[in-house]
Structure formats: C-alpha cells, structure tokens
C-alpha cells in the first residue's frame, strides 16, 4: 500500500511539475521562491534576495522553485489531491468517484508508515499487525490505476490548450 500511495503521489507531482510553472501568478503565489525559506511556505522578499539567482532566466527560476516545492509536498488526503489538480487547471470531476477508495488507501498507508501497522486489537489469538485483505489491495490498486486513466485524457487536453495559447 505504501508503494501504491507513493506511485499516486509521484504521478500527481509529475503533473504539477509540468503545469504549475505555466500557471497564473495567483497560483504561483502559493509556492516559495527557491532558497528563501526552509519552511516551504511562500514569503515576501526584498529584491536583493534575487541576487543569488543572477543569470537564470525567470522561467528556469520558476521551474526550479516549483520542483523544490514539489519535492517537499505530500498528498495525504483526497482534498490535497483535488487542490493540486485544480491548481494545474485540470478537472477534478474526472476522478472524484475514486475519492472514497483513495481515502481508504491513504488511511491504511498512514497506519503502516506511522503506526508500524500495529493492530488495535489486543489479547490472546490477536495478530500484532492489522490484517490486509487481498480484495482491499486489489480495489486500492485499481483506484490508483483509474486515477491515472481519469486524469490522463484531462492532461492531454490541458496540454493542447496551453500549446495553442503559446502559439498565438
């Protein structure tokens, strides 16, 4: 489950890495300029802070800032996933029906990673780790696959829109 969730996160990050550098300023305002903060939050800065970036084209600086931001980003809920998709200019409705299954996957991943998958049940005959149903695994893997399928067409349409805008 951890790998399925990591794959989903990587897919969302890849989409964001492609679309966010081309986003409007209002979207980019939520992303810190690379090298300014270790907290990962955007902050105002004086012009002198740009001196460290002399010689870099603005587009490159935006791409590097977005990539650095994404390297620290996680998607621990369907709300996080939906927000990222919307920031990229994509339609969330294409995958909303998958959110209940993705929420289950995310909760189970959290249980495994942060709680060592310890069972909450104790006593004689109880396992130390939570049981994991092969049916649940199949459902969660199918949900991740369906996110890819649901978003891919949307990505291609958005990519075409951006390309036609830049050609004008």
Tens-place pLDDT, residues 107-120: 888 887 887 767 76
- Give the range with max mean pLDDT: 53-62, 87-96, 159-168: 87-96
What are the Cα distances from residue 40, in Å, to 35, 74, 81? 10, 12, 18
Give CA–CA dist 165/168, Å, rounded: 5
Across the range 71-82, mean pLDDT stands at 93
Question: How many helices (H) and strands (E) are present in the chain, helices listed first?
Answer: 6, 0
> Residue 3 burial by CB count (10 A; 0-12/13-18/19+): exposed, middle or buried?
exposed
Q: What pLDDT does 149 receive?
A: 95
pTM of the model: 0.82
Which pLDDT band holds residue 35 (cuts at 50, 70, 90)? confident
Does the pLDDT value for residue 57 go beyond 90? no
Q: What pLDDT does 126 receive?
A: 59
Determine the distance from the C-alpha atom of residue 53 to the mean position of all C-alpha atoms in its chain, rounded to a whole number.
27
- DSSP run (H or E) holding 11: helix 2-19
Q: What pLDDT does 50 receive?
A: 77
Which pLDDT band holds residue 67 (cuts at 50, 70, 90)? very high
Does the pLDDT value for residue 159 go beyond 60? yes
Give CA–CA dist 65/36, Å, rounded: 10
Does the pLDDT value for residue 71 go beyond 80? yes
């Amino acid at each position: 489950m951890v790998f399925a969730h990591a794959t989903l996160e990587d897919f969302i990050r890849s989409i964001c890495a492609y679309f966010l550098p081309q986003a409007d300023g209002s979207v980019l305002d939520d992303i810190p300029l690379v090298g300014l903060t270790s907290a990962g939050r955007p902050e105002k800065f004086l012009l002198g802070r740009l001196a460290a970036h002399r010689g870099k084209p603005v587009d490159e600086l935006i791409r590097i800032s977005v990539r650095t931001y994404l390297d620290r980003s996680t998607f621990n809920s369907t709300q996080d996933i939906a927000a990222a998709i919307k920031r990229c200019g994509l339609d969330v409705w294409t995958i909303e029906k998958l959110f209940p299954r993705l929420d289950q996957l995310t909760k189970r991943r959290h249980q495994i990673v942060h709680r060592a998958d310890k069972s909450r049940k104790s006593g004689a005959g109880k396992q130390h780790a939570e049981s994991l149903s092969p049916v649940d695994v199949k459902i969660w893997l199918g949900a991740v696959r369906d996110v890819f399928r649901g978003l891919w067409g949307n990505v291609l349409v958005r990519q075409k829109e951006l390309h036609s805008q830049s050609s004008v």
